[in-house]
Amino acid sequence: MSRLRFGGLQLALGTGLLGCAAVLGGGAWLLVWPAVSVAVVGLGYLGLGPGIFGKRPDGSLRAPHFALLLPYHAVAWLRMNADGWLRREPPWHEVAPGLFLGRQVPARALPPATRIVVDLTAELPAPAGLADGREYHCLPALDTSVPRYEEFAALARRIAGEPAAVYVHCAAGRGRSATFAAAVLLARGLAQSPAEAESRLRAARPGVRLHAAQRALLARFEEALAPTARGVSD
């Protein structure tokens, strides 16, 4: 589902819930909180951006944002865990030596020897203890969307040069985080095109599926890579 379509559906759902509260009255006014929550999320997807979630660089969510969007957070958390269980998909896969791609997991469930964590979620707080003894990078993006190009490109280049084990994750480990992992593959010279990078990721983690905006970001990143800046494979 596209970002704009998802945003429109969330805004429509919020408007519908508010209408139900106004018509039914009484206890139905309890619907106002979830209605406002999903409507704000819809506006985020329609243009306000990932800042609506109030995610800080350390991975925590600002209290006012979290409280306002708590109904949405609850549903998103349930959906994320149900999706992982229904698909019977491992939480993470090693997509290149020392490069792991997956969904958000507790600190205890990270791949062995992980020293760097790259978090692409805007809507999920970093699990407790995730940054203990590790380097943590927060690059928030809305689901099916992309972060700001300059920050994305700078961090992808930096991670590409790191010898330590890196865990890249979003909510499901299939879109936002896969886009970043693909950029690392390109910068390391382990893939010669965005399509090849995506194919390699899908071979390791079959659920990987990139959206149009994510592929466009990778194409821009590839164009910016000078031949001499690629990895040792060139």
pLDDT band per the 50, 70, 90 thresholds, residue 54: very high
Domain residues for the domain of 45 are: 3-82
Check residue 232 and give its pLDDT: 44
Count of the separate structural domains present in the chain:
2
Domain end (from 82, 104, 125): 82
CATH for 155: 3.90.190.10
Burial class (CB in 10 A: 0-12, 13-18, 19+), 108: exposed
Check residue 233 and give its pLDDT: 45
Domain end (from 82, 114, 132): 82
Query: How does pLDDT run across 115-143, given as a tens digit for each residue?
Result: 999 999 999 999 999 989 999 999 999 99
Cβ density class 36-51: b for 16+ within 10 Å, e for less: bbbbbbbbbbeeebbe
Check residue 229 and give its pLDDT: 53
**Considering the domain boundaries, does residue 49 fall inside one?**
yes
Query: How does pLDDT run across 2-47, given as a tens digit for each residue?
Result: 778 888 988 898 999 889 988 888 888 888 999 999 999 999 999 8
More confident of the two residues 104 and 85: 104
- Give the percent of the chain with pLDDT over 70: 95
Say if residue 97 is in the same domain as residue 179: yes
**Considering the domain boundaries, does residue 234 fall inside one?**
no
Query: How does pLDDT run across 78-91, given as a tens digit for each residue?
Result: 887 777 777 788 99
pLDDT band per the 50, 70, 90 thresholds, residue 230: low
